[in-house]
Amino acid sequence: MATLVICEKNNAAQRVATFLSKGKYSKTYLNRVQVFRFPWEGTECLVVGLRGHILNLDYPKDFKNWNIDDLRAMVATPPLKIATAPWILNVIRDLAKQVDTVIVATDFDREGELIGAEAVSVMGLRPDVVVRRARFSALTGPEIYRAFENLIDLDHNLAKAAETRQIVDLAWGAVLTRFMSTATGKLGADFLSVGRVQSPTLAVVVDREKEIETFQPVPFWEIIADLEKKRHFFAKHSHGLFWEKSEADQVFTKVKDCKLAKVEDSKVEEGMERPPPPFSTTLFLAEASRIGFSAARAMSVAESLYNDGLISYPRTDNTVYPPTLPIKSILGKLAKSEFAKEVNEILAQEKLHPSRGSKQTTDHPPIHPVDAATRENLKGDGWKIYELVVRRFLATLAPAAAVLRSEAVFDICGERFIAHGHETLDRGWQAYYPYIKFTDVFIPEFTVGETINVVNIRGREGKTEPPKRFTQGTLIRDMEKLGLGTKSTRHEIVQKLFDRGYVQGSQIRPTASGRAIIIALEDNAEQIARTEMTSKLEEDMTLIAEGRKDQESVVAESQEMLSKSLDILMAHRENIKEEVNEALRNQNQIGICPKCGTGSLVMRRSKRGKRFIACNAYPDCENTYPLPQFGTILAHESLCKKCGGPQVKMVMNRRKPTDVCLDINCKANKDRLKKYKKAKEAGKARYAKAAKAPEKGAAKEVKAKGKAKKSVKSGDEGAK
């Protein structure tokens, strides 16, 4: 007999096969599915990669048409499991007949455990077949060898937690989305998405925007002395901010003409600034956001690096390196890369003392590099994310930064002023992590009792500022604090808000439709937009994973919550319809019509469902513009820089928003088309070059990939 190893994806399957076979495997295709074969442990080993979930949850065909009267029945109807990749399912069923052992080697988390459990459940295994689990945190040789030498049981509680999330989220998303869309008449491509985690997250953004809009700035004043001893520096009045102008004026009048400052006190002390903690998923996404990555893009790149065996598993809450992590071995690999200088400096320390964060878990270590890569091989986003992970790893192993903190107190005409200084003596970890900028503040050394020159006394008036808008990184950080989503889903939720056109901008702002949905929910069914109910269900799913709660009770609890929420929504249906549609009408207004100057440009749909922009002064003004038929179209706050005409912002799934001028003859549109054609030709040239490459059967590989893509497409259509 034989052993069948199930991996989550094909590239992971190839890496596992490469390590277990020492590179001596054969590759065959069954129904266009790659199977890696080799002798192992005295038996034949077959390694197959899935494509994530091969089963998906969906409702019976009775609910295919969106009907608001069906929603109460939908709440209580259990979903069906439908094969999303039937050709893969058939292959693993056939292979299962030939084996006496099945090893699940999917990613080790809730989703990975469910993917493996799903595969096992559809194989039709004989009772005597043994099922085991290989648990690893990186697709490297040592990790794979260790995992297969220490096989464990499949964690059915972990899989049940993931399955419960699927059931709960499907019900909430389907019922609430259908209610909102049918109640407002927004069906088809214009449907309005509402979800269990998505809506409370959107509410967090909307509530922050309300805070900003209603913020009342409060004026304040401060008094600053410009002093001189060898160099200029400044000191501030010890009172800090003055909230009454008369009080500030009184002090300013007293000191404005003073020429000398007497040193009353001076303190200088050395201090240490600890290195940052290792990367959890949340910390990683926050830092990636700071260097310009969307959360979804950063995670996508990180997953590619993981599958290529360059970094560890990127979904983790852990911020403490386990004692078993081979830190010196990893540094040894990095010493052969362009980070050699930094690595050798760190290895020169007498002992390594890694920094620690506040969260310690046992599923996966913090995100860290596991192998060396080159800038030439990765390029672009791949290199940027890899370098971020490497530099964070090096920073966590580097010594603390040594700083000199100084404080001096001055008497200026009877008023106390304080100066603070900060000087870096040894950059320590800061030298390895250039993503945070540090600025030293100079003040000289002083002797108590000495006097120095006052160059100028000045007053500064300011106003308190509203809270800052979220970036994707800070929003994900708040989601974690509020218990919204998990490390594996938060970036997907944020991306969905962008894809739906509910939020926009690097400094995240809600759009009119996003705001309308939340305000309608807060006015009529507040609990759906609040975090408490969602975080309670998240806690329940954690209890399922720990074996302290069962799936049936959590699903029943969720159904009860959803049923009550639906009753409230139904009772306020008309109010919701009016509020949302009014906001959508406002959002669909693009701006003043440049042709007539009086009408407004609004988005319309033709009888065939094609969307376009037209002047609402029709028939007096017949000005129209074509629109892309895919993606979300949002109003743009400014005119086209090329031609001065109106433009819109187009939001495509998992892409950066694009500014699109409505004038098809605008040079901006012609430049965009030229760039697209150039990229397309470059892609064709790369494909042709790969097809002709003789080494390692590259032409066959390209052909096989083409067939695989075809089979995926036909499989999706079959599933539908």
Q: What is the DSSP string of 619-668?
A: TT---EEE--SSSEEEE-SS--TTT---EEEEE-TTS--EEEES-TTSHH
Give the CA-trace dihedral at 362, 363, 368, 370, to 10 degrees. Answer: 110
> Tokens for 449?
């009792």
pLDDT for the residue numbered 710: 35
3-state class (DSSP) for residue 133: strand
Give the start-to-end residue ranges of the domains of the chain: 2-50+85-154, 163-214+495-582, 219-274+401-463, 281-397, 588-665, 678-719
pTM for this predicted structure:
0.82
- Fill in the DSSP letter of residue 144: H
CA angle in degrees (0–180, nearest 5) for 58-61-64: 85
CB-based burial label for 349 (10 Å; 0-12, 13-18, 19+) = exposed
| 6: nearest Cα among 223, 188, 154 | 154
Distance CA 195, CA 202 (A): 10
**311 touches 367 (CB < 8 A):** yes
**176 touches 194 (CB < 8 A):** yes
* Alpha helix segments (H runs only) across 483-530: 490-499, 512-524, 526-529
β 130-133/26-30 pair status: unpaired
Q: Which helix (H) or strand (E) holds 227?
A: strand 219-229
pLDDT for the residue numbered 494: 95
pLDDT for the residue numbered 700: 40
Enumerate residues 6+ apart whose C-beta is below 8 A from 578: none
3-state class (DSSP) for residue 37: strand
β 2-7/99-105 pair status: parallel
- Per the listing, tokens 């590239």 go with 11
Distance CA 264, CA 416 (A): 9
Long-range Cβ contact pairs of 12-18 (< 8 A, separation 24 or more):
12/49, 12/105, 12/107, 12/139, 12/307, 13/47, 13/48, 13/49, 14/47, 14/49, 15/139, 15/144, 15/307, 15/309, 16/47, 16/105, 16/139, 16/144, 17/45, 17/47
* Whole-Å CA distances, 600 to 186, 326, 635: 22, 64, 12
pLDDT for the residue numbered 593: 87
Distance CA 168, CA 672 (A): 43
- Per the listing, tokens 């949302």 go with 580
What is 547-616 written as a DSSP string? TSS-HHHHHHHHHHHHHHHHHHHHHTHHHHHHHHHHHHHHHTEEEE-TTTSSSEEEEEE-TTS-EEEEET
pLDDT for the residue numbered 680: 75
**64 touches 174 (CB < 8 A):** no
Among this protein's residues, is 676 annotated catalytic?
no
Distance CA 650, CA 224 (A): 48
pLDDT for the residue numbered 691: 59
pLDDT for the residue numbered 715: 30
Enumerate residues 6+ apart whose C-beta is below 8 A from 393: 278, 279, 330, 368, 369
* Alpha helix segments (H runs only) across 105-155: 110-122, 141-149
CATH 3.40.50.140: does it fit domain 2-50+85-154? yes
- Fill in the DSSP letter of residue 409: E
Q: Which CATH superfamily is domain 163-214+495-582 in?
A: Topoisomerase I, domain 2 (1.10.460.10)
| 19: nearest Cα among 122, 136, 161, 155 | 136
**391 touches 435 (CB < 8 A):** yes
How many CA atoms, within 13 angstroms, populate the side-chain half-sphere of residue 37? 13
> Tokens for 285?
């996404």
The whole-angstrom distance between residue 475's C-alpha and the CA centroid of its chain comes to 9
What is 390-408 written as a DSSP string? HHHHHHHHSPPEEEEEEEE
Q: Which of 59, 306, 313, 502 is catalytic?
A: 313
> Tokens for 533?
């109910």
Ranges of the chain whose pLDDT falls below 50: 694-720
What would be the CATH architecture of the domain defined by 219-274+401-463?
Answer: Distorted Sandwich (2.70)
Sheet holding 600-605: strands in order across?
589-592, 600-605, 611-615, 624-626
pLDDT for the residue numbered 660: 83
Distance CA 657, CA 213 (A): 24
3-state helix, strand, coil in the chain (%, to 5): 45, 20, 35
| 253: nearest Cα among 411, 419, 413 | 413
Omega before residue 619 within 30° of 0, cis: yes
What is 429-442 written as a DSSP string? GGGG-TTS----B-
What is 438-496 written as a DSSP string? ---B------TT-EEEEEEEEEEEEE--PPPPPPHHHHHHHHHHHT-S-TTTHHHHHHH
Distance CA 236, CA 458 (A): 10
**414 touches 254 (CB < 8 A):** yes
β 611-615/600-605 pair status: antiparallel
* Whole-Å CA distances, 339 to 5, 49, 355, 433: 36, 34, 20, 12
| 493: nearest Cα among 479, 482, 509 | 479
CB-based burial label for 11 (10 Å; 0-12, 13-18, 19+) = middle
What would be the CATH architecture of the domain defined by 281-397?
Answer: Orthogonal Bundle (1.10)
pLDDT for the residue numbered 719: 30
